[in-house]
A = this chain, B = another copy of it.
Amino acid sequence: MEQIELNHCTSPAMANNTSVDELDSPIDRYERIGHIQEEEDDDLIDITDDDNSKSEINFRDSTQGLVEPLEDIPIDTGKYDDFHTIDWLKDIQKDRQRHKRIHRDRDKSPLNKLKAAHDAWSGWLVVFLVGVGAGTCAGIIDIGASWMTDLKLGVCPQAFYLNREQCCWAENDTDQLKFNDKGCSKWHTWAELFNILGDNAGSYIINYLFYVLWGFGLATLAVSLVRAFAPYACGSGIPEIKTILSGFIIRGYLGKWTLLIKSITMMLAVSAGLSLGKEGPLVHVACCCGNIFSYLFPKYGKNEAKKREVLSAASAAGVSVAFGAPVGGVLFSLEEVSYYFPMKTLWRSFFCALVAAFVLRTINPFGTDHLVMFYVEYDTPWFFFELVPFLLLGVFGGLYGAFFIKMNLKWCKYRKTSKLGKFPVVEVITLALITAIISYPNPYTRMSSSQLIELLFNDCGPEDNFKLCNYKHNYTLMLHTGNVAASPAGPGVYESLWLLLLALIFKGVITVFTFGIKVPAGLFIPSMAVGACAGRLLGIGMEQAVYFNNDWGIFEDLCKPSTPCVNPGLYAMVGAAAALGGVTRMTVSLVVIMFELTGGLQYIVPLMVAVMTAKWVGDAFGREGIYDGHIYLNGYPYLDSKREFVHSTIASDVMRPRRADPPLSVITQEGMTVEELENLTTESSYNAYPMVVSKESQRLSGLVQRKDLTIALANARKFQEEVVSQSQVFFSNHVPRYSLPGQPSPLKLTKILDQSPFQVTDQTPMETVVEMFRKLGLRTCLVTHNGRLLGIITKKDVLRHWAMLKNQDPDSIMFH
């Protein structure tokens, strides 16, 4: 179980316990290495991955009677500490070396051939497994959530484990049942179960009470499970996954406990009626599957950069199963989540997303044989003048997105800094109670958000008898013409308008307070619900306006019998896309997801118009989407590849040491003693030490990782008796062949020296440096002038500098 928690899910008091403010190192506060980990001491004499087969350990060569300098004890440099940045290039290089070795050894024996074949197909195998895992998890979660959601309203007494739809299966049309909380003869509301059928008010109160109590109970259980077993399971997880994919280590965030607890509490939280969805968390669950399965293949499990390829594919699978949109999932992974996305990952993500969708379809949790969540059957055309209302929906989406992001970030900041943050359980329970109490009276908030969206997306058929479809149909005419004609709205529709408006306001406001609480919570579904309400409202308005004015030139005889009419369901769909677009600022992937929902190309232009407008309007109020907002709020070390660096600073403005700082701790190529180096590693907490040819020339010759140096020195002390405190350490090959009499034998440590550190000149524009950090995935970069070492820049220095230029507190960029 993890002890260190992410700030996103943690109260300030808890965060302080693990903060490291006392270590104010110029390099990286969060990249410090506190101690050599025990497990690494055990590995010391293992041959590491990037070890050349030719190098052999000769502890002492006594043929000449002289002590020889020790050649390179191999060191396990493959592991990163928790909350550290990974070095993409080094990891990928390591993997290529591994690949080369396997390739080279292939012909040596049949076993090696088998190994090579296994290595070649393991990339596909792992994404296949991840797809199966994600699909299965999604299926179980969908079934569980739908059962528990129905449990709030009633029960199937003969078989309590069935949800309402399954319980009523044998009865007549289940479609009509879906948007109705009346039971069928087999399924009873709680009031019916206790036989208080006669008294209408009494049964209403009983049902209300059960609804609130279940909501309270499920929410309490959810938050308790999260607090007790997997604190990382809270939230949507997407900001953290973005950070992890950008090359950061958060141990346990994608572990098996998180997977288990998140899956369970997701069902509980959704069923509790809280205004949250399970689509974002499904991405987290899929990534957990990705992480867990990658450990079956050392190629991925032991290489953080390679593992992120699997995680990219997993996040595609997550969206694929959340919406039944494999192509949309891949684009979501590409557009929103992933950082490093080579072509190979594109193919595998696509495969993974397809497998996941296929598995989910086989499990068939919705019982509809449709892969997609909100299947839309209509195929009616849209008209050119409708682009105006679609544009308005886009504006609404953008405004709502800006409002939501601003308010939610403010509330989350307040939660972090005030006493509220200390009582996360109380917060969740209170919110669940408030939500349940306000939700029940309004049928559109009483049903789950996804049911609401499905209802609003759908077209009204003549046989639909719920209030939203209460049109004054002329059935004689309909029978005559054979198609559903437009009709004036009945009183039920007008009542629905008011209820939808209330639902819109309620959902819009409560979601602000809900996103960020300590249970798994996505905002895809709540945002879509808000947008769908707005869209449907506008759609009904347009429909009636056109119906009553179909002699106007612009409406060209629409909405008459036997002519097509404005479809309010389409407006709901466009509105949902716009609101989601405003909140997340997704574009292409969102349009493709919505396009896969409907399966037709004809609505792509309305969706596009609304989504792009939502993005532009939203961007006018603040450029960051909700996920980026949470990343900055929590100070995750995330170097956004979408934001452009627009300032004209140069490398020497950013590098450490600054003018007032003490000079850089450097190592010289030769001449330093073991004791001096040991003092260096204990006195300073830098993550790496640049190496210079000599103190005088300051010419850069390499970089030594602190971790490697500490281990190498400890190793040498342990295994080589002749190495004493005064032994000179050589990082070059110019080691004296024989140690002079009276002098301690020298120590050679060329192997831990990185002879190819990245370097830029002090005049390099920061734009270029930022590009290098982003595209090459650097961890550190050295700054030189005319070949002389001046300073060092880490990823965090870049982020801090950026924050400073944006008038933010540079110290907020860190991981506490």
Contact A343 B786 (CB under 8 A): no
Q: Which residues of B contact A596 (CB under 8 A)?
A: 601
On whether A335 and B346 interact (CB within 8 A), knowing A693-B786, A759-B759, A784-B787, the answer reads: yes
Q: Do the beta carbons of B755 and A93 come within 8 Å of each other?
A: no
Q: Does A100 contact B (CB under 8 A)?
A: yes
Q: How many residues of A sit at the interface, in one of the four size bands?
A: 35 or more
Residues B699 and A787 in contact, CB atoms below 8 Å apart: yes
Residues of B within 8 A of A726 (CB): none
* Chain B positions within 8 Å of A644 at CB level: 96
Residue A99 at the chain B interface, CB threshold 8 Å: yes
A545 within 8 A of B: no
Interface residues of A in 45-99 (CB under 8 A from B): 89, 92-93, 96-97, 99
Question: Who on chain B is nearest to A700 by CB?
Answer: B787
Quick one: which of B595, B701, B759 contacts A327, CB cutoff 8 A? B595
Given A93-B768, A755-B761, A786-B693, A604-B776 contact (CB < 8 Å): no
Q: Is the CB of A347 within 8 A of B587?
A: yes
**In the bound complex, what is the Cα–Cα distance between A334 and B335 (angstroms)?**
12
Q: Which of A92, A601, A757 has the most CB of B within 10 A?
A: A601
Known A-B contacts A350-B591, A371-B601; A776 and B787 likewise in contact (beta carbons under 8 Å):
no
- Which of B96, B99, B588, B645 contacts A330 (CB under 8 A)? B588
Interface 1/0 per residue, A339-352 and B, CB below 8 Å: 00011101100110
* A590 smallest CB distance to B (angstroms): 11
Min CB–CB distance A306 → chain B (angstroms): 13
| B599-A601 in contact (CB<8A) | yes
Rounded to whole Å, the gap between the CB of A683 and the closest CB of chain B is: 27
Whose C-beta in chain B lies nearest to the C-beta of A330?
B588
Complex CA gap A600/B344 in Å reads 25
Interface string of A600-629 (1 = CB under 8 A from B): 110011001000100000000000000000
Contacting residues, chain B, for A700 (C-beta < 8 A): 786-787
Please name all residues of chain B whose beta carbon is closer than 8 Å to the beta carbon of A761 when the two chains form the complex: 702, 755-757, 759
Query: Counting CB contacts under 8 A, is A642 at the interface?
Result: yes
Within A690-724, the residues touching B (CB, 8 Å) are 693, 697, 699-702
Q: Which of A129-179 contact B (CB under 8 A)?
A: none
For residue A55, give the distance in angstroms from its CB to the closest CB of chain B.
Answer: 15
* A374 interface residue per 8 A CB criterion: no
Interface residues of A in 741-764 (CB under 8 A from B): 755-757, 759-761, 763-764
- Nearest opposing residue in chain B for A651, CB measure: B756
Are B599's CB and A351's CB within 8 A?
no
Cβ contacts under 8 Å, A351 to chain B = 608, 612
Among B92, B701, B763, B768, the residue within 8 A (CB) of A786 is B701
Q: Cβ of A804 < 8 Å from any Cβ of B?
A: no
Q: Is the CB of A767 within 8 A of B587?
A: no
Which residue on chain B has the smallest CB distance to residue A347?
B587
Residues in B neighbouring A763, C-beta threshold 8 A = 755-756
The answer to whether the Cβ of A788 comes within 8 Å of any Cβ in the partner chain is yes
Q: How far is the CA of A810 from the CA of B305 in the complex (A)?
A: 32
A646 CB within 8 Å of chain B: yes
Chain B residues with CB under 8 A of A595:
327
Are B646 and A100 interface neighbours, CB within 8 A?
yes
Interface SS, A side? helix
Q: Which residues of B contact A96 (CB under 8 A)?
A: 644-646, 767
**Given the complex of chains A and B, what is the CA–CA distance between A96 and B588 in angstroms?**
25
Inter-subunit contact A608/B354 (CB<8 Å): yes
- Nearest Cβ on chain B to A343's Cβ, whole angstroms: 5
Q: Enumerate A324-343 residues with CB–CB distance to B below 8 Å.
A: 324, 326-327, 330, 334-335, 342-343
* A676 in the interface (beta carbon within 8 A): no
CB-contacts of A764-793 with B (<8 A): 764-765, 767-768, 771-772, 775-776, 784, 786-788
Nearest B residue to A764, CB-CB = B756
Given the complex, which residues of B lie within 8 Å of A591, measured CB to CB?
Answer: 350
When distances are taken between beta carbons in the complex, the residues of chain B under 8 Å from A759 are 759, 761
Contact of A599 among B330, B599, B755 (CB under 8 A): B599
The residues of B that contact A93 with a CB separation of less than 8 Å are 765, 767-768
* Contact B786–A776 (Cβ < 8 Å): no
Residues of B within 8 A of A547 (CB): none
Cβ < 8 Å to B, chain A residues 291-326: 324, 326
Query: Judging by beta carbons under 8 Å apart, are A699 and B786 in contact?
Result: yes
Chain B residues whose C-beta falls within 8 Å of the C-beta of A784 in the assembled complex? 787
In the complex, are the beta carbons of A343 and B350 less than 8 A apart?
A: no
B-facing residues in A460-476 (Cβ within 8 Å) = none
Q: Taking each of A335, A764, A775, which has the highest tally of chain B beta carbons within 10 Å of its own beta carbon?
A: A775
Set of chain B residues within 8 Å of A372, measured between Cβ atoms = 601
A776-B775 Cα distance, complex, nearest whole Å: 7
Interface centre among A600, A755, A772, by most chain B C-beta atoms within 10 angstroms, is A755
In the complex, the answer to whether B775 meets A648 with C-beta atoms within 8 Å is no
Instruction: Select one of B100, B642, B757, B772 contacting A776, CB under 8 A.
Output: B772
Interface residues of A in 642-680 (CB under 8 A from B): 642, 644-646, 648, 651
Cβ B346 vs Cβ A588 within 8 A: yes
Within 8 Å CB of A97, what residues of B? 648
Given B592, B646, B651, B756, which contacts A765 in the complex, CB threshold below 8 Å?
A: B756
Q: A571 at the A/B interface (Cβ < 8 Å)? A: no
Which residues of B are found within 8 Å of A641, using beta-carbon distances? 342-343
Residues of B within 8 A of A253 (CB): none
A191, chain B: closest CB distance, angstroms: 42
Give Cα distance in the complex from A596 to B592, angstroms.
11
Inter-chain CA distance A254–B810, complex, in Å, is: 47
A208 CB–B CB distance under 8 Å: no
Complex Cα distance A330/B756, Å? 38
- Tell yes or no: A638 within 8 A of B by CB: no
A404 at the interface (CB under 8 A from B): no
CA distance A588 to B344 in the complex (A): 11
| CB neighbours of A642 from chain B (8 A) | 342-344
- Asked if A187 is an interface residue, CB under 8 A from chain B, the answer is no
A335→B343 contact, CB < 8 A: yes
- Distance in angstroms between the alpha carbons of A767 and B788 in the assembled complex: 26
Q: Are A327 and B605 in contact (CB under 8 A)?
A: no
Task: Give the residue name and chain of the B residue nearest to A787 (CB).
Answer: B787
Cα separation A324 to B784 with both chains bound (whole Å) = 53
Cα–Cα distance between A196 and B767 once the two chains are bound (Å): 76
Docked CA distance A139–B641 (Å)? 37
* A358 in contact (CB, < 8 A): yes
Q: Are B765 and A776 neighbours in the complex by a CB distance under 8 Å?
A: no
Complex interface: chain B residues within 8 A of A697 (CB): 787
Q: Are A326 and B604 in contact (CB under 8 A)?
A: yes
A600 to B587, CA, bound (A): 22
What are 12 A-B interface contacts by the 8 Å CB criterion? A92-B767, A100-B646, A103-B646, A326-B601, A347-B588, A354-B605, A354-B608, A371-B601, A599-B600, A693-B787, A700-B787, A757-B761
Please provide the 4 A-B residue pairs with the shortest distance between their CB atoms, ordered closest to farther.
A787-B787, A756-B764, A755-B763, A699-B787
B-contacting residues of A (Cβ < 8 Å)? Answer: 89, 92-93, 96-97, 99-100, 103, 324, 326-327, 330, 334-335, 342-344, 346-347, 350-351, 354, 358, 371-372, 587-588, 591-592, 595-596, 599-601, 604-605, 608, 612, 641-642, 644-646, 648, 651, 693, 697, 699-702, 755-757, 759-761, 763-765, 767-768, 771-772, 775-776, 784, 786-788
In addition to A324-B601, A326-B604, A343-B641, 14 A-B residue pairs with Cβ atoms within 8 Å of each other are: A89-B768, A92-B767, A96-B644, A350-B588, A354-B604, A358-B605, A372-B601, A701-B786, A755-B761, A756-B760, A757-B761, A759-B761, A775-B775, A776-B776
